[in-house]
């Protein structure tokens, strides 16, 4: 059982390949759209994404046959939100794919000439929460990721304590898991079997 949280700018219809892979691995999945994404109402904002993740967790915890087997899976921005949620609930594990340290770090990478701290309304700060994560973590990232620098994923991985593994994949931000293929699927399978 997993909660799958997608990348910023997408919606759940963009995750069909991920859902297929998780289905092949025998994982029942609840995937969510944040407020303002896909057909979800409301406006996108940081607290709204956290509230949506919390509501998804609560729904699964109340309705799952075995709530102790819930795994959080977040890609890109969804990974930052999954880190936030993992600090507040008790998942069996956490999968972070193409996840960054903080929105400020991302902005500094892409727009080094802008005064980010003065213009950003959002924090999305996974690095400050990472040390509090007490569950097994699988970090997945491509060195060829053109959106989230590999270095930010590696920095977040280094900040995570406890049992963790790093799965280095190939390909871009949105297709690395497909480009990597069987190695990616096997990496997920090994992590899931270890829980």
Taken in order 43, 173, 4, 82, is the CA torsion positive or negative?
negative
Has 45 been annotated as catalytic? Answer: no
**Is 76 among the catalytic positions?**
yes
Cα 95 to Cα 176: distance, rounded to the nearest angstrom: 15
Quick one: which of 14, 8, 7, 18 has its CA closest to 188? 18
Exposed (0-12), middle (13-18) or buried (19+): which is 151, by Cβ within 10 Å?
A: middle
The answer to whether the CB of 100 falls within 8 A of the CB of 80 is yes
* Active-site residue, selected from the candidate residues 76, 98, 102, 142: 76
120 tagged catalytic: no
* Set 40, 109, 173, 175: catalytic member: 173
The full DSSP string for 135-153 is: S-EEEEEETT-SSS-HHHH
H or E element: which one contains 174?
A: none
Active site residues: 76, 145, 173
């Amino acid at each position: 059982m997993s909660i799958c949280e997608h990348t910023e700018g997408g919606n759940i219809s963009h995750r069909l390949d991920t859902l297929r892979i998780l289905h092949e691995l025998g994982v029942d999945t609840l995937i969510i759209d944040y407020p303002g994404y896909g057909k979800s109402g409301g406006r996108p904002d940081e607290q709204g994404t956290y509230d949506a993740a919390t509501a998804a967790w609560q729904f699964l915890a109340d309705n799952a046959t075995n709530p102790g087997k819930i795994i959080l899976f977040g890609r890109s921005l969804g990974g930052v939100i999954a880190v936030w949620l993992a600090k507040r609930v008790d998942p069996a594990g956490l999968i972070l794919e193409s996840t960054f340290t903080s929105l400020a770090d991302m902005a500094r990478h892409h727009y080094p000439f802008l005064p980010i701290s003065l213009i950003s309304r959002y924090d999305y700060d996974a690095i400050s929460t990472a040390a509090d994560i007490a569950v097994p973590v699988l970090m997945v990232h491509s060195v060829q990721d053109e959106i989230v620098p590999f270095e930010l994923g590696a920095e977040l991985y280094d900040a995570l304590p406890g049992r963790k593994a790093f799965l280095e994949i190939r390909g871009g931000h949105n297709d690395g898991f497909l480009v990597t293929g069987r190695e990616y699927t096997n990496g997920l399978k090994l992590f899931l079997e270890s829980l």
